[in-house]
Amino acid sequence: MPRRVAPLEELIEQFERLPGIGRKSAQKLAFYVLEMPDEQAKKFAESIMLAHEKIHRCKVCCDLTDAEICSVCSDIKRDKSVICVVEGSKDVMAIERTHEYNGLYHVLHGAISPMNGIGLDEITVKELITRLSDPEIKEIIMATNPTVEGEATAMYISRLIKPMGIKVSRLAYGVPVGADLEYADEVTLSRAIEGRQEI
Amino acid sequence: MPRRVAPLEELIEQFERLPGIGRKSAQKLAFYVLEMPDEQAKKFAESIMLAHEKIHRCKVCCDLTDAEICSVCSDIKRDKSVICVVEGSKDVMAIERTHEYNGLYHVLHGAISPMNGIGLDEITVKELITRLSDPEIKEIIMATNPTVEGEATAMYISRLIKPMGIKVSRLAYGVPVGADLEYADEVTLSRAIEGRQEI
């Protein structure tokens, strides 16, 4: 089939490259963008460029920010004695949504995964260790994903930190709130039993 | 929750406005775009702007094109005696993929739908009628969607055209190839029986 309308084909291809977007969806999105008012399309294009230009890693916690130091690190009301270590910025967003945590973060930007060639140098462990020289820090909460890679990363980092005399904790495992016990997998359930708490 | 990183939030919001993209997907897409190389992100943004600037309706058939007259209308090898009337550009793409049709198209950009305030002036019926003054045109194939609106539009347009002495046909209804008869709905099946052909 000849390329009928080059700019349209190009737009469809661009959408098709995004994760989880197939040919049909890419077509639908491209036509939707075409039918947008000019101003709205301009805003969309600009937001892509702007995000790319302005967003970089926070000098302290490595989370994504448009300032030199992110809003969490520069907030004087946050508890500077706890650092919650996560794999990505999305995890920071998820924990912030709970409104339960008031400490700082450290974003690793990945997890150790020798199979995928991701070692210590690919994630921000070095930056984390540097931060720990601050005597104010009392506790590190490992909140990497409950996957093999996340676990390994948490174990590895906790072994690095423990000799420094800083408390290291891990997110509790257990059954998700609102879920049906019947459908919980065996590993989760046995972890929930292990970690049972007195009431 | 305070807006953590304005350019990132803006990008997520832009993605969220697209059809079929929820908050979670928008977040995933925004992070994916952020992690793209600068050059690729620039290309993505440019393709949106370019598509918007360059693409307009073909002066003849109203299909989307970046030229004054689209590639089908300007192709001397196409059969200029048949016009296939469709609701949208996506339908042109679908029919072109069959490699079976060699005539021209006319894109209505919608179907008559009084409930949604779409009347004759909102679709390109006037442009179609103007084209029919060309004595070369012998047949009009109505290929609007097999929906209530598509049907009504096809009926309405065919009534306008018939007095002009031009043959008007409609796409055949029947069971989709490869489908299971058992699961065909009653209307489709009865249309398939009605339209049965000798073998």
Residue B55 and residue A7 in contact, taking contact as beta carbons nearer than 8 Å: yes
- Judge: B55–A34 Cβ closer than 8 Å, yes or no: yes
Mapped onto helix, strand or coil, the DSSP state of residue A134 is coil
Chain A neighbors of B29, CB-CB under 8 A: 18-19, 21
Nearest to A134 by CA among A81, A93, A184, A171: A81
The one-letter amino acid code at B77 reads K
Q: At what angle do helices A23-35 and A6-16 cross, to 10 degrees?
A: 120
E strand map for chain A: 56-57, 64-65, 82-86, 104-107, 139-142, 167-170
Residue B122 and residue B110 in contact, taking contact as beta carbons nearer than 8 Å: yes
| The pLDDT of residue B58 | 94
Which residues on neighbouring strands pair with residue A167, listed in sequence order? A139
Please state the pTM of the whole predicted model: 0.75
| The pLDDT of residue A177 | 78
- Per DSSP, B74 falls in state T
Instruction: With residue B107 as reference, give the H or E element that holds it.
Output: strand B104-107
Confidence label for A19 from pLDDT (cuts 50, 70 and 90) = very high
Instruction: With residue A128 as reference, give the H or E element that holds it.
Output: helix A125-131
- Judge: B7–A55 Cβ closer than 8 Å, yes or no: yes
Which residues on neighbouring strands pair with residue A169, listed in sequence order? A141
Confidence label for B181 from pLDDT (cuts 50, 70 and 90) = confident
- Judge: B66–A7 Cβ closer than 8 Å, yes or no: yes
Q: Left, alpha or beta for A69 (phi > 0: left; psi -120 to 50: alpha)?
A: beta
Q: What are phi and psi of A67, to 5 degrees?
A: -105, 180
| The pLDDT of residue B55 | 92
- How do residues A21-79 score in pLDDT, each as one tens digit? 999 999 999 999 998 898 999 999 999 999 988 999 999 999 999 999 999 999 999 99
Lowest mean pLDDT among A2-6, A50-54, B53-57: A2-6
Chain A neighbors of B20, CB-CB under 8 A: 25, 28
- Report chain A's mean pLDDT, rounded to a whole number: 89
The one-letter amino acid code at B59 reads K
| The pLDDT of residue B171 | 85
Nearest to B60 by CA among B83, B91, B35: B83
The residue among A48, A53, A75 with the most chain B CBs within 10 A of its CB, best to mutate, is: A48
Confidence label for A3 from pLDDT (cuts 50, 70 and 90) = very low
Q: What are phi and psi of A168, to 5 degrees?
A: -120, 130
Distance of CA A75 to the CA centre of its chain: 20
- How do residues B152-177 score in pLDDT, each as one tens digit? 999 999 999 989 989 998 888 887 87
Confidence label for A186 from pLDDT (cuts 50, 70 and 90) = confident
Contacts of A159 (CB under 8 A, 6+ apart): none
